[in-house]
């Protein structure tokens, strides 16, 4: 089954404690991206990757890091989480370079206290 | 001003109604226009995408793009209670890169 898998689905952490949210896709897609979703603001793109070792900033990259060492995986790293990073996070992948047919993961609800 | 504006609703309609959902945008460089549906506690799923201007139809769904007015629409015919969800418009193809910009989403309720 074609899917994008995120882990964990739910996470509560404390300010400053480094964390990683993993994302894996089994569709051999080249394009992957991370979004956060907040009430009233919709989905905002954090980072995207057009292929292995190629990443670029989206609209809200501050406080986040990503890496793309393998085609299937695109982890999101919060080196020093802060409460304003409490949000619902989605990973997505797409075969199309313009991200026109993106498959989304189920989401990770992160709370930073 | 946001790059993409979308009325958050909620929009409530009776079953069988024609639903019209809309977004406006400011960046004339957008070339790809998408509509996603998101059920509660789920990730968005792609409904349709359109390249440049024009219409595209898929079953009960029709997407329209008017680049001259910077306005896109999604029409749902014969709406069903199962269509109750949040609908997100999205755009990409900006000359600045491969970013995708989403609208805030419109919550739709279809009453049986």
- pLDDT tens digits, residue range A4-14? 999 999 999 99
A59 contacts B92? CB cut-off 8 A: no
Cβ–Cβ < 8 Å for A111, A11: yes
Is residue B50 within 8 angstroms of chain A, CB to CB?
no
Tokens of B45: 């799923």
Q: Where are the alpha helices (DSSP H) in A1-113?
A: none
Rg over CA atoms, chain B? 14
> Given this model, what pLDDT does residue A50 score?
87
Which parts of chain B register pLDDT below 70?
94-98
Which among A13, A1, A2 is positioned nearest to A89, based on CA atoms? A13
> Given this model, what pLDDT does residue A102 score?
82
Which among A65, A103, A29, A76 is positioned nearest to B45, based on CA atoms? A103
* Coil, helix or strand at residue B89: strand
Is residue B98 within 8 angstroms of chain A, CB to CB?
yes
**Interchain CB contacts (distance < 8 Å): A and B:** 66
Tokens of A88: 């619902």
> Given this model, what pLDDT does residue B97 score?
56
> Given this model, what pLDDT does residue B23 score?
97
Is residue B45 within 8 angstroms of chain A, CB to CB?
yes
> Given this model, what pLDDT does residue B87 score?
97
β partners of residue B54: B65
> Given this model, what pLDDT does residue B2 score?
79
* Shortest CA gap A17–chain B (Å): 26
* Shortest CA gap B79–chain A (Å): 24
User: What is chain A's pLDDT, residue by residue, as a tens digit (113 residues)?
Assistant: 889 999 999 999 999 999 999 999 999 998 999 999 998 888 999 999 988 999 999 889 999 999 999 999 999 999 999 999 999 999 999 886 666 678 999 999 999 99
> Given this model, what pLDDT does residue B73 score?
97
> Given this model, what pLDDT does residue B98 score?
66
């Amino acid at each position: 089954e074609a899917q994008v898998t995120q882990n964990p689905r739910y996470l509560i952490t404390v300010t400053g404690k480094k964390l990683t949210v993993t994302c894996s896709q089994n569709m051999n897609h080249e394009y992957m991206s991370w979004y956060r979703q907040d009430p009233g603001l919709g989905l905002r793109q954090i980072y995207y990757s057009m292929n292995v070792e190629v990443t670029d900033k989206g609209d809200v990259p501050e406080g986040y890091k990503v890496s793309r060492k393998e085609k299937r995986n695109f982890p999101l790293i919060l080196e020093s989480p802060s409460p304003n990073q409490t949000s619902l996070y989605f990973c997505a992948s797409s075969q199309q370079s313009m991200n026109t047919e993106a498959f989304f993961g189920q989401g990770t609800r992160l709370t930073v206290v | 001003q946001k790059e993409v504006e979308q009325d958050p609703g909620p929009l409530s309609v009776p079953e069988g109604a024609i639903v019209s959902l809309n977004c406006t945008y400011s960046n004339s460089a957008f070339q790809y226009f998408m509509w996603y549906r998101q059920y509660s506690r789920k990730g968005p799923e792609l409904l349709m995408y359109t390249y440049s201007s024009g219409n595209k139809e898929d079953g009960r769904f029709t997407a329209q793009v008017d680049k001259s007015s910077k306005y896109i629409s999604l029409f749902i015919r014969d709406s069903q209670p199962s269509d109750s969800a949040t609908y997100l418009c999205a755009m990409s193809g900006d000359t600045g890169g491969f970013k995708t910009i989403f609208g805030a989403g419109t919550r739709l309720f279809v009453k049986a």
